[in-house]
Amino acid sequence: MAVCIAVIAKENYPLYIRSVPIQNELKFHYTVHTSLDVVEEKISAVGKAMADQRELYLGLLYPTEDYKVYPSHMIIVYYTPVCMFFLLIENILLYRHTRYGCVTNSKVKFVIVADSSNTSLRDNEIRSMFRKLHNSFTDVMCNPFYNPGDTIQSKAFDSMVSAMMVQAS
């Protein structure tokens, strides 16, 4: 289970960020922010070749998980080529989403910080978490009243994120 989930805009500012233990909020923000270094690097390194892949799962960002930023967390990033284009007609946002990427690459990033003491967390579980996150994010984008680039304020998204978070004890 995740301890922090963040959605980062193309320009690298947070669209949504939530972490479990409230008192460490700032630290998680830093964790997410610093992990963008690796995300950026990976994106630029792979570049165009990645654009036509179906799923851009960057995997474990820091292989040395235990010994860097925050000892008990590993950082995992999922990067998705949400290819989309917007058509603004009379306040109705038509949103088409395809994974076969052609129009533009939205470069929205998802970052999940998971507790690395949770050894049961397998790669495919993380993947499924990202898939859920991505689907939910797509729903947010489909909302005609959502303004792309704004911070996400959606109950549905919130509850989905809560379901993925470690229940604060």
Residue from 52, 55, 66, 123 in contact with other proteins (CB under 8 A):
66
- Give CA–CA dist 103/84, Å, rounded: 6
- Give CA–CA dist 132/164, Å, rounded: 9
Kindly state whether residue 67 participates in binding other proteins, applying the rule CB under 8 A.
Answer: yes
Which residues, 40 to 59, sit near other proteins by CB under 8 A?
Answer: 41
Point out which span in 85-93, 107-115, 124-132, 155-163 binds other proteins (CB under 8 A).
Answer: 85-93
Nearer to other proteins, 63 or 167 (CB): 63
58: closest CA among 74, 35, 39, 40?
39
How many C-beta atoms lie closer than 10 Å to residue 4's C-beta?
A: 27
CB of 112 to other proteins, least distance (A): 17
Per-residue buried b or exposed e for 33-55, using 16+ beta carbons within 10 Å of the residue's own CB: bebbeebeebbeeeeeebeeeee
- CA of residue 67 relative to chain centroid, distance: 23
Kindly state whether residue 10 participates in binding other proteins, applying the rule CB under 8 A.
Answer: no
- Give CA–CA dist 61/74, Å, rounded: 8
Sign of CA dihedral 152, 158, 160, 163: positive
- Give CA–CA dist 108/42, Å, rounded: 14
Point out which span in 24-32, 121-129, 134-142, 159-167 binds other proteins (CB under 8 A).
Answer: 24-32
Which residues, 130 to 159, sit near other proteins by CB under 8 A?
Answer: 144-145, 147-150
**Does residue 64 contact residue 134 with C-beta atoms inside 8 Å?**
no
Residue from 22, 23, 26, 119 in contact with other proteins (CB under 8 A):
26
Size of the site for other proteins (CB under 8 A): 33
Kindly state whether residue 12 participates in binding other proteins, applying the rule CB under 8 A.
Answer: yes
Nearer to other proteins, 21 or 144 (CB): 144
Interface residue list for other proteins (CB under 8 A):
11-14, 17, 25-26, 29-30, 33-34, 36-38, 41, 61-64, 66-69, 71, 88, 91, 93, 144-145, 147-150
